[in-house]
Every structure is written in C-alpha cells, then in structure tokens.
C-alpha cells in the first residue's frame, strides 16, 4: 500500500521537543492514517470496491460508508499492516447518505465481524439510518436466532444506530467527528464529515454537488477527500445524465475551485463516475489547482 500525505504541526510537535521519549510513544498511539477501502461507484469494477474509507488513529478505526466489499477490504488492509482494521476491532461507522452503493455492505459490516466475536457496532448517519438498520436486523432475524440459540452459542448481536444531526456526532479521546449537510440531489439529508485527531484534520465530502460548506469545514485542513466526475463523462444507462450530474455530483472543474478556496494540504480524489482515465481526471483538476492532489485506489494509505 502506498504511503502518502503530511502530518500537521501543533501541540504534539511542541510536546515532542520537550519530552521526546513520551512523545514517541504517544505518536505511535495517535498516528492518523487514511485507508481507502473502496473507491468505486455503482459500476461493479473488479479493482474498485464500493465506497468506504477508514480513518485510523493508532489502534482504532472509524469507517465512513459501507459499500460492497467493505469487510473484505478491511481484512486485506489488516493483513497488509493496519491491524486496527481487523474487522472484529471495527466498532464505529458513519454513513454519508443511504444510496445503495454506500450501504449494501452494511449487513456485512453488521454480521460478519459479529460472527467473529466483535462486541458491538455503533452506526451514525442521516435520517433513515435507524430504520435501515432495524430492517436489516429483521431481515436476518432467523440467522440471529439460530446463531445465538443454536449450537454456535453466539453472543447477542449488539448494534446501535443513530439518526444524527449536523454538528459533533461522535467524540472520544482519539477523534472528534463533525457531520455537516451537503446537497445530493433529491436526498432530504446527506452528510460530509470532518475528523479532528491529535495530528490531522480530515474532511470527507460524501456524494455532493458543489458546496460552500465543504470549503468552510476544510479551511486549510490537512486532507480533503472529495468525489468528482469529468465534464466529458457519459453514463449511458442514465436517461438524463447531464441534468443528474449537476444536482448530485461535483465536476473536476468545480472541485478545483473548491480546493483553491478550501486550501487542503492534500486533495484525494475518489468515487469517480464514468470510465474516465485517472490521468485525465487529475489533469482536469490540475489545470486550475496547483495544490497537492492524488487519485486514490483501493487499499491506498495516506
């Protein structure tokens, strides 16, 4: 996995100068990594699984979105040197919105680690997250009953789902997570998320048309992870793609403008529509954006 990125300088750097030994231990415990578990779209591209991103702070992982393959990708990342992404250790997840390509991995995230003895899972997302989770548990009720009451003697399945509201939706001693609204077509509610950790500030757009809120939330953040499409992209199965893309997504040209105003230390492109080559997408952004920008791929680490 490729290692890319930059660490912010702040109190942790001062701490390191004064107490180098203790700071070294703290750095190991709180180092933040971004792992792109899935960078794809609804198109079943073999090398790009469904959208899912992990923010890993030391030995804890926080998942954003649960596209198809999220658990297997997490297991692959764990085998490649990110032990916090052992699926059994994943206990917190966030959904940007409830489109199927961002959520069809949710039953897998709920059940597979549970079967392997994960203690609990907490899910935060927009309106409808609680209802979706309830329906998933109901749909697999026979499985739950057989595993807990049958010969497997599985521990009870513990899942907490929350319909979150804009603002701080989660906080522990490693991370503060802020949800903010983004426009995504006809969805009544869709979120982007900002993660503040001891050494980095990270903003994830989710699916969105151009949003000033992205600029406000980033405002010089360390990393901005943003979706995009090429103005040249065509989606033949979409009857009115030209109108749809304007309401639901952000073009490379629009993203370059957002990045110029948001000033992230690193801009990561993901979740691209169509079959546009990576080089073309990067070139379109770089025509008017001079900051550091990369095209992400599954299991990249930043």
- Mean pLDDT across the chain, nearest whole number? 90
**Span of 18-22, 40-44, 181-185 with lowest mean pLDDT:** 18-22
Say if 188 falls within a structural domain: yes
Report whether pLDDT(147) > 80: yes
For residue 6, is it within any domain?
no
Task: For residue 301, tell me if it sits in a domain.
Answer: no
Residue 228 CA to residue 282 CA, distance in Å, equals 10
Residue 4 maps to a domain: no
How crowded is residue 229: how many other Cβ atoms within 10 Å of its Cβ? Answer: 24
- For residue 9, is pLDDT > 80? no
| Averaged pLDDT, 69-90 | 98
In a domain, 224, yes or no: yes
In a domain, 300, yes or no: no
Q: Is residue 72 exposed (0-12), middle (13-18) or buried (19+ Cβ within 10 Å)?
A: middle
Asked if residue 1 belongs to a domain, the reply is no
Q: What is the pLDDT of residue 26?
A: 55
* pLDDT mean over 132-139: 98
Domain CATH number, residue 189: 3.60.15.10
Q: Is the pTM of the predicted complex or chain greater than 0.85?
A: yes
Kindly state the percentage of the chain with pLDDT values over 70. Answer: 90
Segments forming the whole domain that contains residue 61 = 11-295
Instruction: Specify if 3 maps to a domain.
Output: no
Looking at the structure of the chain, the number of domains it has is 1
């Amino acid at each position: 996995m490729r290692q890319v990125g930059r660490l912010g300088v702040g109190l942790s750097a001062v701490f390191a100068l004064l107490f180098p030994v203790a700071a070294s231990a703290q750095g190991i415990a709180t180092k933040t990594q971004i792992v792109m578990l899935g960078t794809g779209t609804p198109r079943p591209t073999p090398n790009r699984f469904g959208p899912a991103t992990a923010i890993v702070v030391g030995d804890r992982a926080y998942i954003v979105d649960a596209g198809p393959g999220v658990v297997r990708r997490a297991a692959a990342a764990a085998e490649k040197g990110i032990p916090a992404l052992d699926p059994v250790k994943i206990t917190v997840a966030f959904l940007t919105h409830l489109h199927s390509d961002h959520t069809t991995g949710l039953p897998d995230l709920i059940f597979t680690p549970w079967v392997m003895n994960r203690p609990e899972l907490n899910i935060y997302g927009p309106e409808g997250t609680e209802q979706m989770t309830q329906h998933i548990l109901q749909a697999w009720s026979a499985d739950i009953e057989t595993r807990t009451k049958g010969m497997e003697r599985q521990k009870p399945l513990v899942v907490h789902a929350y319909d979150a509201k804009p603002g701080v939706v989660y906080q522990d001693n490693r991370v503060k997570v802020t949800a903010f609204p983004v426009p995504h077509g006809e969805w009544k509610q869709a979120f982007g998320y900002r993660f503040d950790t001891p050494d980095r500030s990270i903003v994830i757009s989710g699916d969105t048309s151009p949003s000033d809120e992205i600029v406000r939330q980033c405002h010089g953040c360390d990393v901005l992870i943003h979706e995009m499409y090429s103005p040249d992209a065509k989606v033949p199965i979409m009857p009115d793609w030209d109108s749809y893309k304007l309401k639901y997504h952000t073009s490379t040209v629009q993203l370059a403008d957002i990045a110029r105003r948001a000033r992230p230390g690193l801009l990561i492109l993901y979740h691209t529509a169509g079959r546009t080559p990576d080089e073309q997408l990067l070139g379109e952004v770089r025509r008017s954006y001079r900051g550091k920008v990369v095209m992400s791929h599954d299991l990249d680490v930043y």
